[in-house]
Amino acid sequence: MNVQSRVKERAEEQSSTMTAEQQAVIRMVANDLHRLNQSVMKAVDAGVSVELIRSARHHNEGNWGDLLIPVIVTQGQQ
């Protein structure tokens, strides 16, 4: 299954009003998220379930970002 999530494209569309530094870090997040999604799909294909849970929220000057941890379950543990 080849899922096209358009993460990179959506991030670029949303970054049109951002500074160059903000655009660079958003591209980094989008690239990392794309790699994470690929890793999750590989893990599922290898026989484990992956759930991403927000573990905390990072705040700075009115901005925030969710921090995630994975919960991994194999077929025998469900």
34 and 56 co-located in one domain: no
Stated as kind and residue range, the H or E segment containing 30 is: helix 20-45
Helix (H, G, I), strand (E, B) or coil at 18: coil
How many independent structural domains does the chain possess?
2
Helix (H, G, I), strand (E, B) or coil at 14: helix
pTM > 0.95: yes or no: no
Write out the residue range of the structural domain in which residue 63 sits: 47-78
30 and 41 co-located in one domain: yes
30 and 51 co-located in one domain: no
55 and 76 co-located in one domain: yes
2 and 40 co-located in one domain: yes
Structure token digits, residue 2 = 């080849």
Angle, in degrees to the nearest 10, between helices 7-14 and 20-45: 160
> Per-10-residue mean pLDDT for the chain, 78 residues long?
66 79 91 96 96 97 96 79
55 and 66 co-located in one domain: yes
Q: Cβ(8)–Cβ(30) under 8 Å?
A: yes
54 and 37 co-located in one domain: no
